[in-house]
Structure 1
Amino acid sequence: MKTIILKIQFLIILMVLPAAFLLAQQLLGLDKALEIAMQNSPDIRRSLLNLERSQESLNAQNAALKSQFSLSLNPVEYSRNRTFDDFSSTWYTSENFGTSGTFTVSQPVLLTDGTVSLVNRFGWQRNTNDFNNMEDKAFTNNLYLSLSQPLFTYNRLKLQLNELELDLENSNLNYAMQKLNLERMVTQFFYNVYMAQMSLSISKDELANTERSYEITKNKVDAGLAAKEELYQAELNYATAKSNVQNQRVNLDNYKDQFKQYIGMDIFEEISVMANVDANPVQVDLDKAIDYGLNSRMELRQREIEIETSMFDLVQTKSLNEFRGDMNLSIGIIGDDEKLNNIYNNPTNNPRVSLSFNVPLFDWGEKKSRIKAQEAVIKTRELGLEEEKTQIVIDIRQVYRSLQNLLTQIDIAKQNEKNAQLTYEINLERYANGDLTSMDLNLFQTQLSEKKMSYAQALIDYKIELLNLKVQTLFDFEQGIGIVPEELLKETKN
């Protein structure tokens, strides 16, 4: 009785363990894998950090264009000096003690690259000297408005702002492209795992069929209806099938690790993937695909940004050894008195004007050569833009041809699988009747496994190529809609 109970418990464990193992695994579909990758993928996180850097740099530059308020304080200033007076030929000692503070409001002018400042310096000081035994105490206040304006040169403020705006746009483009590339790579890794799962499943079916043929052969040999050599071959086929199952299990685990690493999952987490690989033919208009690609591909805009950035570099290059002027204007009043409330009873106007020029004379041709070098860079990038357009057209045409070819390959692979299945069943019956050797049956079993894998691979190749067409054209021909990344929509609205 105790033995029977132990057997029942063992059977229950065998039934429960597979179900518990499946529950412990996380079952992933392609959409769920993409969602995980968008949150955890190292490539996406790097793109987001780069996008954040560009955005914050532009925010900082825009903030720098607003009025800047500053306050500097000098709580204590003390000095004592021994000085010789040439007129009286006398040495005397002077002491100075004071405290002051300066409040400044400066406003950059984006239109002219100048700076307007309002400055107020307030302080108190006491001066004494033993030359005439005099002491002076007074409050002082210096209030003035100033303008600093560069002349005959390019607008550095505006250029820097434009560079940062282009950098942000380029970061948005990189992020959008990274998301599309992520979708393609996740899909590729996902189907690698799916194909490895299918290969393992097919190898298990092959093992089951081989085991059945082995049992048939063993029964024939035991009954004296077949030679022992048939059993030896059947045993070899059976061992090979077991080894193949183990090999496919190792491949599956390796593909799972690569997949989990790319999407940012814990590599120790058990997963299994599920997918619908049915491929419905999609009508693709080649001319429409090329038009969408040339009008929407973000790489073209990146090449244009490179050209614009090169033009900015040319402006800076032309400023080497340039004729340049600087104008500084200020106007204000200064007041001082022992009493604070009388500080402006007798104010003094203090206008100041300064104008300076930098006049280059001779630079041995440095500026001219640097300009030519930068112009060569611009022409190179213009050629790169034209080459990019040509490459886009070529890539789209290649994908289109591949899609047409894959539809034919799917039909052929489907028919091959059907024929291989029928052929195997017919020859299995022949084998059971003794009209076929185990070696020949193993060839038909291998052929069936290969055809199953070929059909599944053809379906997956078609799906991946459709996704590739969507990436190449930014148009989803399955849904019949254009794809414009959210980041570019925001840029357009701004």
Structure 2
Amino acid sequence: MQTLSIKKAVLAAVALLVLSFPSQGQTALTIDKALDIAEEHSPTLRSSHMSLDRYQQLLIAQKASLKSRFSLTLDPISYQKPRRFDNRVSTWYTNELFNSAGTFRVDQPILWTDGTISLVNTFGWQSNNTNQSGSEYKNKAFSNDLRLQLNQPIFTYNTRKMELKQIEFDYENANINYALQRLQTERQITNQFYTVYMAQNNLAISREELQNAQQSFDIIKNKVEADLSAKDELFQAELNLATARSTVEERQVSLENAKDNLKQMLGMDLNEDIIAYADIKITPVNINVEKAITHGLETRLELRQREIDCKLGEFEMTRVKALNEFKGDITLSFGLMGDNRHLEDIYQNPTQDPRVAISFNVPIFDWGEKKARIRAQKTAQKINELNFQNEKIDIELNIRQTIRSLENLRRQITIAEQNVKNAQLTYDLNLERYRNGDLTGMEMSQFQTQLSNKKISYSQTLINYKIELLNLKILSLYDFEKDIPLTPITNKIAAK
């Protein structure tokens, strides 16, 4: 009952502050509503979401690049009349050529082999006149070249497959960054929200202190006028009253600054007035240390990021090993060529056009470049592995420290409750002594300050417990208040 009465007293002080604010044009905020506003308007979250969307579009583009590509190249008109020398017969000739052509092409990348299979069809018409040594040769005909060809690299890594996997990792990493940013934003907004709440609470306490100072001033003023107290007591009461007014003004400024910081974080209009509503009463939570650590190590997204870094390091090692490597290319092609002055007879006498080509790139000497780059990349991979292990240690360490802090805060809350009760009783007793002239204004001011500080300390301890409980939820990805695992919102890698 005593604990409940103290909590009611704190909430009553905040309610007094709420009633003193004009309600018209004022936005009431709870922590849940603040988080909802941030989800839509927070500049930090919006930027993180844009980055996520960028990588999603890159993944969609990469997958689209693996599908068949259709292209059409048109050369409607081409005319030339050059003068050339024919080495075969050692004579000059003039060639007049007018043609029109178009090429339709279908290229299909092969993901599993990194090759490309293509179907190419070139259709055209030409008029060719050649004048050589007084003789004139003419030809007008349609032509069509249909060709199926395969280009396949050999003795090297699959670049297409690696690029696709790397973009998938980039997109997953962007998802993780977005989820982590949401958790970080929740922590930041919660801290700033309670900063506003405490500023409101402090202002309410300072106004209560101002009322008490005014009451004390009226008491001593009446006594001085009745020659029951010395004038120096009135001077002290005036000083206490002025100090109380100054404190109210100072805390009003602190409140407005805290509101502006919260509005900026939420992406709200700075001219919009807000007021924070919060229920800071707490229910002690029993926390299983081993469960928190185990769940954190199994689900923390930062660990997945370190795993992705290791995978990307393996990709980079593959690229480094491919520097100055022995590799080759195979080109296979089979074509069917036809030409005739009559379009319908274009394939009357077709000509087959098979082609086979194999080429190799044989490195000889690179002055140790490849070996040095491989050693450098191996060091980078060891660094990634070390970061992964350190991340696991940091997670366990932070969870342990947060749980210890929660246990300490629970004890502090009990002490703070008793301190508020004792300070209130002390103030009430000494107020009666002050009225009877047994205490000076200076001494009464000290009791008032003590009561105000104990109230502020109690409220801050409650808020610290709630914030530390949120920190544990983020660190372990487990909500011990609701006894459920926490699943950060991430988008699946399912770019259609």
Name the TM-score, length of structure 2 as normaliser: 0.94
Shift of 1:484: 1.3
Counterparts in 2 of 1:294-313, with a 5 A limit?
294-313=297-316
1:129 CA displacement:
1.8
Amino acid at match of 1:270: D
| Contact in 1 for aligned 2:60/2:495 (Cα 8 Å) | no
The equivalent residue for 2:96 is: 95
Letter in 2 for 1:116: I
Q: Distance in 2 between the 1:122 and 1:87 partners?
A: 30
Match of 2:215 in 1: 212
Pair 1:30 & 2:42 matched = no
- Identify unmatched segments of 5+ residues in structure 1: 1-17
Q: Counterpart of 1:130 in 2: which secondary structure?
A: strand
Matches within 5 A, 1:78-157: 78-86=79-87, 89-131=90-132, 132-157=135-160
Post-superposition Cα deviations, 1:136-165, rounded to whole Å, max 9, x if no partner, equal: 000000001000000000000000000000
Distance apart, 1:21 and its partner CA: 2.6
Distance in 1 between residues matched to 2:333 and 2:78, nearest whole Å: 26
Partner secondary structure for residue 446 of structure 2 = helix
Distance 1:88 1:352, change over 3 A: closer
2:331 pairs with one of 304, 328, 331: 328
SS in 2 for 1:52: helix
Match of 2:190 among 171, 187, 191: 187
Match of 1:387 in 2: 390
Amino acid at match of 2:193: F
- 1:402, 1:138 → 2: CA distance? 90
Q: Cα 1:65–1:464, aligned 2, differ >3 Å: closer, same or farther?
A: same
Secondary structure, aligned partner of 2:81: strand
CA distance 1:402–1:493, shift in 2 (3 Å):
farther
Structure 1 residue 487: Cα displacement: 1.3
TM superposition shift of 1:134: 2.0
Equivalent in 440, 445, 451 of residue 442 of structure 1:
445
CA shift for structure 1 position 341: 0.4
Q: Select which of 235, 258, 267 maps to 1:264.
A: 267
Aligned to 1:6: none
CA distance in 2, matches of 1:87, 1:414: 110
Deviations along 1:362-392, whole A, 9 cap, x unmatched? 1111101100100000001100000000010
Partners of 1:317 and 1:87 in 2: how far apart? Answer: 50
Cα distance between partner residues in 1 of 2:415 and 2:21 = 40
Q: What SS does structure 2 have at the residue aligned with 1:84?
A: strand
Question: Counterpart of 1:182 in structure 2: which amino acid?
Answer: T
Once the two structures are superposed, residues 80-120 of structure 1 have per-residue CA deviations (whole angstroms, 9 ceiling, x without a partner) of 11123455554332100000000000000000000000000
Aligned-partner Cα distance in 2 for 1:91–1:211: 118
Aligned amino acid, residue 327 of structure 1: I
Alignment of 1:169-248 (within 5 A): 169-248=172-251
Gaps of 5+ in 2: 1-18
Residue 279 of structure 1 deviates from its aligned partner by 1.0
Quick one: structure 1 residues 53 and 492, their matched pair in 2 at CA, closer, same or farther if it must change by over 3 Å?
closer
Specify the SS of the correspondent of 2:67: coil
Q: Does 1:409 align with 2:416?
A: no
CA distance in 2, matches of 1:197, 1:368: 65
Deviation at residue 20 of structure 1 after TM alignment:
8.9
- Distance in 1 between residues matched to 2:434 and 2:301, nearest whole Å: 61
Deviation at 1:298, TM superposition (A): 0.4
Letter in 2 for 1:449: S
Aligned mate of 1:167, from 166, 170, 173: 170
C-alpha change, 1:216 and 1:187, in structure 2 (3 Å) is same
Partner of residue 14, structure 1: none
Spell out, residue by residue over 1:290-329, the C-alpha distance to the aligned partner (whole angstroms, 9 max, x if none): 0011001000000000010011000000000000001111
Change (3 A) 1:29 1:359: same
Q: Does the residue aligned with 2:123 lie in a helix, a strand or coil?
A: strand
**Partners in 2 of 1:445 and 1:363 — Cα distance?**
82
Specify the SS of the correspondent of 1:202. helix
Tell me which of 276, 283, 286 is aligned to 1:283: 286
2:428 to 399, 417, 425: 425
C-alpha distance in 2 between matches for 1:487 and 1:190 = 25
- Paired with 1:213 and 1:419, the residues of 2 have a C-alpha distance of 21
Question: TM-score, structure 1 length as denominator?
Answer: 0.95
- Identity over aligned residues, as a percent? 53
How many angstroms apart in 1 are the aligned matches of 2:116 and 2:52?
30
Q: Would the alpha carbon gap of residues 463 and 431 (structure 1) be closer, same or farther in structure 2, given more than 3 Å must change?
A: same
**Which residue identity does 1:124 align to in structure 2?**
W
- Aligned partner of residue 353 in structure 1, secondary structure: strand
Residues 1:100 and 1:449: Cα distance change in structure 2 (over 3 Å)? same
Provide the rounded CA distance (Å) in 2 between the counterparts of 1:183 and 1:257. 17
Q: How many Å separate the matches in 1 of 2:426 and 2:87?
A: 123
State the distance in 2 between where 1:467 and 1:87 align: 89
Read off the aligned partner of 1:305 and give its amino acid letter. Answer: I
Inter-CA distance 174–92: structure 2 relative to 1 (3 Å threshold)? same
Alignment of 1:33-72 (within 5 A): 33-72=34-73
Shift of residue 486 of structure 1?
3.1
Cα deviation, 1:185-225, whole Å, max 9, x if unaligned, reads 11000000000000000000000000000000000000000
Residue of 460, 463, 481 corresponding to 1:460: 463
In 2, Cα distance between the equivalents of 1:90 and 1:288? 94
The structure-2 alpha-carbon separation of the partners of 1:462 and 1:149, relative to structure 1 and needing over 3 Å to count, comes to same
- The answer to whether structure 1 residue 273 and structure 2 residue 276 are counterparts is yes
Checking the alignment, whether the CA contact within 8 Å between 2:59 and 2:495 is kept in structure 1 is no
Q: Is the 8 A contact 2:326 2:362 kept in 1?
A: yes
Residues 246-279 of structure 1, C-alpha deviation per residue, up to 9 Å, x if partnerless? 0000000111111100111011111111100001
3-state SS, counterpart of residue 344 of structure 1: coil
Q: Which whole-Å CA distance do the structure 2 matches of 1:278 and 1:227 have between them?
A: 46
Structure 2 equivalent of residue 361 of structure 1:
364
Residue identity matched to 2:92: W
The whole-number CA distance in structure 2 between the counterparts of 1:85 and 1:128 is 15
Q: Which residue of 2 aligns with 1:8?
A: none
Match in the other structure for 1:9:
none
Distance (whole Å) between structure 2 residues aligned to residue 41 and residue 216 of structure 1: 52
Which amino acid in 2 is paired with 1:46? S
Distance apart, 1:234 and its partner CA: 0.3
Letter in 2 for 1:357: F
Tell me, yes or no, if the aligned pair for 2:56 and 2:495 is still in contact at 8 Å: no
Give the aligned partner of residue 75 of structure 2. 74
Give the SS at the match of 2:213: helix
| Cα distance, 1:129–1:43 mapped onto 2, change above 3 Å | same
Counterpart residue number, 1:451 = 454
